[in-house]
Amino acid sequence: MPLIVTGTIGIDTVYTPDHGHRENVLGGSCTYFAAAASFYCQPIRIVAAVGEDFPDELRQTMEKFNGVDHSGLEVRKGSKTFRWGGKYMENMDQRETLYTDLGVVAEEPPVVPEQFRDSKYVFLANTHPSVQLGLLEQLPERKLAVADTMDLWIDTAKPELMQLCEKIDGLVLNFDEAEQLTGKRNPVTAARHILEMGPKFVVIKKGEHGCIIVHDDGIAALPAFPTEDVVDPTGAGDSFAGGMMGSLAREGDTGVDPTSFDAIHRAVAHGTIVASYNIESFSLERLASLTNHDLDVRFDEFSRMTRVG
């Protein structure tokens, strides 16, 4: 089943305390998501925009991932590609944003191509909730729709975010954002409050401490995979979402209800594994060399690690 993702494609510069830095590498939520999801299902349809300054070599990097359909990528003449620069602190769990050049992100959002409008599985990567709503309305045949959000939109566009929550099946956000949205410090209480807004499930990310799933049919907590050498955490959340949604689309294609608690529990475990590989190198370097065998081996290890009894 086709899986569609809407979000950003960007050019990043990243500084780390132990592994040096990389300038002008491929980044953006769509990029990481699509690469991760491609290991689980195909095709992955991208809806995004870049400027005419987007380098050919970065486009070629994107095309290394089989099954990713780039026909929804707009290259806008006279516009600039989204750019971000960041510096990670010693603990690698905190970072400082050095600059953000919005470029095409500040312009009108891309339109979903006609040939993509039959997409059944939809992920709305982090952007303004009104943009997410507009994109969602262009996908009337959706079977599963999940969105990501951030503190900025909770602070500046909460009414639109509330409207979005009424129309989606799942919401992904981090611990602090869940508290900000609901006023509830306890993540389970916060997630239950979000369920009352409309979604069937909520995934609350806690970085190196893993994540919590809250669903109408149950609660689960999963640790992060204990990666020994963290090189660059950029894109970890987006690759996590890609693995999760790719797994849900793959199971949905076999007749499994992709909104069921068991399917989401398995999917979050797959998202955790692919994200654990992503952080082992800069940009998409590790994902570009990753194999399905690698994923299977680490997933089995993760299953043994989290089994009780």
Q: How many whole angstroms separate alpha carbon 192 and alpha carbon 61?
A: 40
Under the banding of pLDDT at 50, 70 and 90, the label for residue 100 is very high
Structural domain boundaries in the chain: 3-303
Q: How many whole angstroms separate alpha carbon 45 and alpha carbon 34?
A: 8
pTM above 0.85, yes or no: yes
pLDDT tens-digit series, residues 143-197: 999 999 999 899 999 999 999 999 999 999 999 999 999 999 999 999 999 999 9
Name the percent of the chain in helix, strand, coil, to the closest 5.
Answer: 40, 25, 35
pLDDT tens-digit series, residues 29-88: 999 999 999 999 999 999 999 999 999 999 999 999 999 999 999 999 999 999 999 999
Question: Domain spanning 3-303: which CATH class is it, in words?
Answer: alpha beta
pLDDT at 93: 81
- The HSE-up count of residue 211 (CA atoms within 13 Å, CB side) is 28
